Amino acid sequence: MSAIGVERELMPQQDKIVIQDFNFHYSALHALHHIHLKIKSNEIFSLFGPSMSGKTTLLKSLNRLTDLIFGVQHTGMIFLDREDIYGPEVDVTQLRRRVGMVFDLPTPLRMSTFDNVAYGPRLGGIKDKKRLTEIVQKALQSAVLWEEVKDRLHTSALRLSGGQQQRLCIARVLALEPEVLLLDEPCSGLDPISTLKIEESLIELKKEYTIVIVPHNVQQASRISDRAGFFLSGELIEVGTAYQVFTKPKDKRTEDYVTGKFG
Protein backbone atom coordinates (compact mmCIF):
# COMPACT_ATOMS: atom_id res chain seq x y z
CA MET A 1 0.00 0.00 0.00
CA SER A 2 1.28 3.49 -0.86
CA ALA A 3 2.10 6.08 1.76
CA ILE A 4 -0.89 8.10 0.51
CA GLY A 5 -3.15 5.07 0.96
CA VAL A 6 -1.93 4.57 4.52
CA GLU A 7 -2.45 8.25 5.26
CA ARG A 8 -6.03 8.14 3.96
CA GLU A 9 -6.77 5.05 5.99
CA LEU A 10 -5.57 6.73 9.15
CA MET A 11 -7.44 9.97 8.53
CA PRO A 12 -10.65 10.18 10.60
CA GLN A 13 -13.95 10.63 8.82
CA GLN A 14 -15.18 14.21 8.85
CA ASP A 15 -18.50 15.14 10.45
CA LYS A 16 -21.01 15.84 7.68
CA ILE A 17 -23.94 16.64 9.99
CA VAL A 18 -23.73 17.99 13.52
CA ILE A 19 -26.89 18.32 15.65
CA GLN A 20 -26.69 20.41 18.81
CA ASP A 21 -29.36 20.49 21.53
CA PHE A 22 -32.18 20.07 19.00
CA ASN A 23 -35.76 20.13 20.26
CA PHE A 24 -38.89 19.84 18.12
CA HIS A 25 -42.53 20.56 18.94
CA TYR A 26 -45.75 19.76 17.11
CA SER A 27 -47.88 22.40 18.84
CA ALA A 28 -48.03 21.07 22.43
CA LEU A 29 -46.27 17.77 21.64
CA HIS A 30 -42.56 17.77 22.47
CA ALA A 31 -41.42 15.28 19.80
CA LEU A 32 -37.62 15.54 20.15
CA HIS A 33 -35.74 16.24 23.37
CA HIS A 34 -32.27 17.82 23.39
CA ILE A 35 -30.76 15.77 20.56
CA HIS A 36 -26.96 15.86 20.26
CA LEU A 37 -25.61 13.82 17.36
CA LYS A 38 -22.77 13.75 14.82
CA ILE A 39 -23.06 11.91 11.51
CA LYS A 40 -19.87 11.30 9.54
CA SER A 41 -19.27 11.63 5.82
CA ASN A 42 -19.67 8.42 3.79
CA GLU A 43 -21.28 6.33 6.47
CA ILE A 44 -24.66 4.66 6.84
CA PHE A 45 -26.22 5.93 10.07
CA SER A 46 -29.42 4.25 11.28
CA LEU A 47 -32.03 5.97 13.43
CA PHE A 48 -33.94 3.09 15.02
CA GLY A 49 -36.53 2.61 17.72
CA PRO A 50 -40.25 1.97 18.20
CA SER A 51 -42.97 3.86 16.35
CA MET A 52 -43.57 7.48 17.39
CA SER A 53 -40.10 7.80 18.91
CA GLY A 54 -39.06 10.83 16.82
CA LYS A 55 -36.96 9.13 14.12
CA THR A 56 -38.87 10.44 11.09
CA THR A 57 -39.19 13.89 12.66
CA LEU A 58 -35.42 14.13 12.95
CA LEU A 59 -34.96 12.75 9.44
CA LYS A 60 -37.29 15.40 7.96
CA SER A 61 -35.62 18.11 10.03
CA LEU A 62 -32.33 17.40 8.25
CA ASN A 63 -33.63 18.95 5.02
CA ARG A 64 -36.35 21.10 6.57
CA LEU A 65 -39.32 19.19 5.23
CA THR A 66 -40.82 19.92 8.65
CA ASP A 67 -41.14 23.54 7.48
CA LEU A 68 -44.17 22.39 5.49
CA ILE A 69 -46.09 21.44 8.65
CA PHE A 70 -48.24 24.14 10.27
CA GLY A 71 -47.65 25.01 13.91
CA VAL A 72 -44.28 23.36 14.48
CA GLN A 73 -41.38 24.87 16.40
CA HIS A 74 -37.78 23.91 17.04
CA THR A 75 -34.82 25.05 19.09
CA GLY A 76 -31.18 24.12 18.78
CA MET A 77 -29.03 23.86 15.66
CA ILE A 78 -28.32 21.47 12.79
CA PHE A 79 -25.12 21.99 10.78
CA LEU A 80 -24.36 20.63 7.32
CA ASP A 81 -20.67 21.06 6.57
CA ARG A 82 -20.53 23.57 9.45
CA GLU A 83 -23.37 25.69 8.03
CA ASP A 84 -26.53 26.11 10.12
CA ILE A 85 -29.31 24.77 7.87
CA TYR A 86 -31.86 26.94 9.70
CA GLY A 87 -29.83 30.11 9.17
CA PRO A 88 -31.65 33.05 7.52
CA GLU A 89 -29.37 33.00 4.47
CA VAL A 90 -30.00 29.33 3.64
CA ASP A 91 -31.71 28.58 0.32
CA VAL A 92 -34.12 25.79 1.31
CA THR A 93 -34.56 24.59 -2.28
CA GLN A 94 -30.80 24.20 -2.63
CA LEU A 95 -30.63 22.49 0.79
CA ARG A 96 -33.13 19.88 -0.40
CA ARG A 97 -31.02 19.25 -3.49
CA ARG A 98 -28.00 18.64 -1.26
CA VAL A 99 -30.00 16.52 1.19
CA GLY A 100 -32.42 14.31 -0.75
CA MET A 101 -35.13 12.14 0.78
CA VAL A 102 -36.78 8.86 -0.16
CA PHE A 103 -40.00 7.90 1.62
CA ASP A 104 -41.41 4.54 2.69
CA LEU A 105 -43.92 4.27 -0.15
CA PRO A 106 -42.55 4.50 -3.70
CA THR A 107 -44.11 7.39 -5.62
CA PRO A 108 -43.15 7.15 -9.30
CA LEU A 109 -44.50 9.91 -11.51
CA ARG A 110 -47.02 8.98 -14.20
CA MET A 111 -44.43 9.01 -16.94
CA SER A 112 -41.67 6.80 -18.32
CA THR A 113 -38.79 5.48 -16.25
CA PHE A 114 -36.42 7.77 -18.17
CA ASP A 115 -38.57 10.85 -17.60
CA ASN A 116 -38.95 10.06 -13.90
CA VAL A 117 -35.19 10.20 -13.38
CA ALA A 118 -34.68 13.13 -15.78
CA TYR A 119 -37.47 15.18 -14.18
CA GLY A 120 -35.32 16.92 -11.56
CA PRO A 121 -32.38 17.71 -13.83
CA ARG A 122 -34.79 19.14 -16.42
CA LEU A 123 -36.33 21.40 -13.78
CA GLY A 124 -32.78 22.46 -12.96
CA GLY A 125 -32.29 23.65 -16.51
CA ILE A 126 -30.56 20.71 -18.18
CA LYS A 127 -32.03 20.27 -21.67
CA ASP A 128 -29.25 18.53 -23.62
CA LYS A 129 -30.46 15.02 -24.46
CA LYS A 130 -27.00 13.45 -24.30
CA ARG A 131 -26.32 14.94 -20.88
CA LEU A 132 -29.74 13.83 -19.60
CA THR A 133 -29.09 10.31 -20.89
CA GLU A 134 -25.78 10.20 -19.01
CA ILE A 135 -27.43 11.42 -15.81
CA VAL A 136 -30.26 8.90 -16.06
CA GLN A 137 -27.94 5.97 -16.73
CA LYS A 138 -25.58 6.85 -13.89
CA ALA A 139 -28.46 7.30 -11.42
CA LEU A 140 -30.09 4.01 -12.40
CA GLN A 141 -26.77 2.20 -12.17
CA SER A 142 -26.13 3.66 -8.73
CA ALA A 143 -29.57 2.49 -7.61
CA VAL A 144 -28.83 -1.02 -8.98
CA LEU A 145 -31.74 -0.78 -11.43
CA TRP A 146 -30.11 -0.12 -14.80
CA GLU A 147 -29.74 -3.75 -15.94
CA GLU A 148 -33.41 -4.42 -15.21
CA VAL A 149 -34.84 -1.41 -17.05
CA LYS A 150 -32.31 -0.39 -19.73
CA ASP A 151 -34.42 -1.98 -22.49
CA ARG A 152 -37.67 -0.34 -21.36
CA LEU A 153 -36.66 3.14 -20.30
CA HIS A 154 -39.51 4.71 -22.23
CA THR A 155 -42.33 2.58 -20.84
CA SER A 156 -44.42 3.68 -17.87
CA ALA A 157 -42.67 3.54 -14.52
CA LEU A 158 -45.97 2.37 -13.05
CA ARG A 159 -45.35 -1.00 -14.72
CA LEU A 160 -42.30 -1.64 -12.54
CA SER A 161 -42.53 -3.89 -9.49
CA GLY A 162 -42.73 -2.35 -6.02
CA GLY A 163 -39.05 -2.96 -5.36
CA GLN A 164 -38.08 -1.53 -8.73
CA GLN A 165 -40.26 1.53 -8.11
CA GLN A 166 -38.49 2.16 -4.81
CA ARG A 167 -35.08 1.92 -6.46
CA LEU A 168 -36.40 4.26 -9.16
CA CYS A 169 -37.26 6.79 -6.44
CA ILE A 170 -33.71 6.46 -5.11
CA ALA A 171 -32.38 7.02 -8.64
CA ARG A 172 -34.61 10.09 -9.02
CA VAL A 173 -33.00 11.62 -5.94
CA LEU A 174 -29.49 10.61 -7.05
CA ALA A 175 -30.01 12.34 -10.40
CA LEU A 176 -29.92 15.65 -8.49
CA GLU A 177 -26.43 14.75 -7.22
CA PRO A 178 -27.10 15.19 -3.49
CA GLU A 179 -24.48 14.93 -0.77
CA VAL A 180 -26.74 13.28 1.80
CA LEU A 181 -29.41 10.64 1.22
CA LEU A 182 -32.25 10.35 3.74
CA LEU A 183 -34.37 7.18 3.67
CA ASP A 184 -37.51 6.62 5.73
CA GLU A 185 -38.16 2.85 5.87
CA PRO A 186 -37.40 2.39 2.16
CA CYS A 187 -37.97 -1.36 2.34
CA SER A 188 -41.32 -1.24 4.10
CA GLY A 189 -43.67 -3.69 2.41
CA LEU A 190 -41.05 -5.06 0.01
CA ASP A 191 -40.20 -8.71 -0.50
CA PRO A 192 -36.85 -10.08 0.76
CA ILE A 193 -35.20 -10.08 -2.69
CA SER A 194 -36.10 -6.41 -3.33
CA THR A 195 -34.97 -5.53 0.19
CA LEU A 196 -31.62 -7.21 -0.39
CA LYS A 197 -31.08 -5.31 -3.65
CA ILE A 198 -31.79 -1.98 -1.96
CA GLU A 199 -29.47 -2.83 0.94
CA GLU A 200 -26.71 -3.78 -1.50
CA SER A 201 -27.20 -0.52 -3.38
CA LEU A 202 -26.93 1.49 -0.14
CA ILE A 203 -23.65 -0.17 0.80
CA GLU A 204 -22.26 0.86 -2.60
CA LEU A 205 -23.77 4.35 -2.43
CA LYS A 206 -22.04 5.24 0.84
CA LYS A 207 -18.79 5.45 -1.12
CA GLU A 208 -20.15 8.68 -2.61
CA TYR A 209 -22.88 9.79 -0.21
CA THR A 210 -23.66 10.13 3.47
CA ILE A 211 -26.73 7.99 4.21
CA VAL A 212 -29.14 8.44 7.11
CA ILE A 213 -31.83 5.78 7.29
CA VAL A 214 -34.80 4.87 9.42
CA PRO A 215 -34.59 1.10 8.84
CA HIS A 216 -37.51 -1.26 8.46
CA ASN A 217 -36.47 -3.24 11.53
CA VAL A 218 -33.61 -3.93 13.92
CA GLN A 219 -32.25 -6.72 11.73
CA GLN A 220 -31.91 -4.38 8.75
CA ALA A 221 -30.22 -1.76 10.92
CA SER A 222 -27.68 -4.29 12.15
CA ARG A 223 -26.96 -5.52 8.60
CA ILE A 224 -26.25 -2.24 6.85
CA SER A 225 -25.26 0.34 9.48
CA ASP A 226 -21.83 1.67 10.24
CA ARG A 227 -23.20 3.44 13.29
CA ALA A 228 -26.65 3.69 14.83
CA GLY A 229 -28.69 5.69 17.32
CA PHE A 230 -31.55 4.31 19.42
CA PHE A 231 -34.55 6.61 19.88
CA LEU A 232 -37.23 6.22 22.54
CA SER A 233 -40.03 8.69 23.29
CA GLY A 234 -38.24 11.52 21.52
CA GLU A 235 -34.89 10.96 23.25
CA LEU A 236 -31.66 9.71 21.75
CA ILE A 237 -30.81 6.98 24.23
CA GLU A 238 -27.60 5.56 22.82
CA VAL A 239 -25.22 6.05 19.88
CA GLY A 240 -22.40 3.78 18.80
CA THR A 241 -21.01 1.52 16.14
CA ALA A 242 -23.46 -1.04 14.79
CA TYR A 243 -21.48 -3.84 16.44
CA GLN A 244 -21.52 -2.15 19.83
CA VAL A 245 -25.15 -1.02 19.80
CA PHE A 246 -26.61 -4.31 18.56
CA THR A 247 -24.36 -6.78 20.42
CA LYS A 248 -23.16 -4.91 23.51
CA PRO A 249 -25.58 -2.06 24.20
CA LYS A 250 -24.65 0.12 27.15
CA ASP A 251 -28.19 1.17 28.11
CA LYS A 252 -30.70 -1.37 29.43
CA ARG A 253 -33.47 0.20 27.32
CA THR A 254 -31.45 -0.34 24.15
CA GLU A 255 -30.76 -3.94 25.14
CA ASP A 256 -34.44 -4.59 25.84
CA TYR A 257 -35.42 -3.20 22.43
CA VAL A 258 -32.83 -4.98 20.30
CA THR A 259 -33.56 -8.29 22.05
CA GLY A 260 -37.29 -7.90 21.41
CA LYS A 261 -38.51 -7.36 24.97
CA PHE A 262 -40.58 -4.42 23.73
CA GLY A 263 -41.34 -2.58 20.52
CATH hierarchy code of domain 12-107+178-258: 3.40.50.300
As a whole-number percent, the residues of the chain with pLDDT over 70 amount to 95
Whole-Å CA distances, 18 to 14, 30, 40, 76, 237: 10, 21, 9, 11, 17
Mean pLDDT of the 23-51 span:
97
Q: Dump strand ranges (E) for 27-113.
A: 29-40, 44-48, 72-80, 83-84, 99-102
pLDDT score, position 12: 58
Q: Mean pLDDT of all residues in the chain?
A: 93
The pLDDT tens digits of the residues spanning 212-241 come to 999 989 999 999 999 999 999 999 999 999
Task: Give mean pLDDT, residues 20-42.
Answer: 97
pTM of the full structure: 0.91
What confidence tens digit (pLDDT) does each residue in 131-179 have?
Answer: 999 999 999 999 999 999 999 999 999 999 999 999 999 999 999 999 9
Band of pLDDT at residue 108, cut at 50, 70 and 90? very high
Residue type at position 178 = P
Q: Count how many residues are written for the chain.
A: 263
Confidence of residue 262 (pLDDT cuts 50, 70, 90): confident
Q: 60-80, pLDDT tens digit by residue?
A: 999 999 999 999 999 999 999
Q: At a CB cut-off of 8 Å and minimum separation 6, what does 177 contact?
A: 97
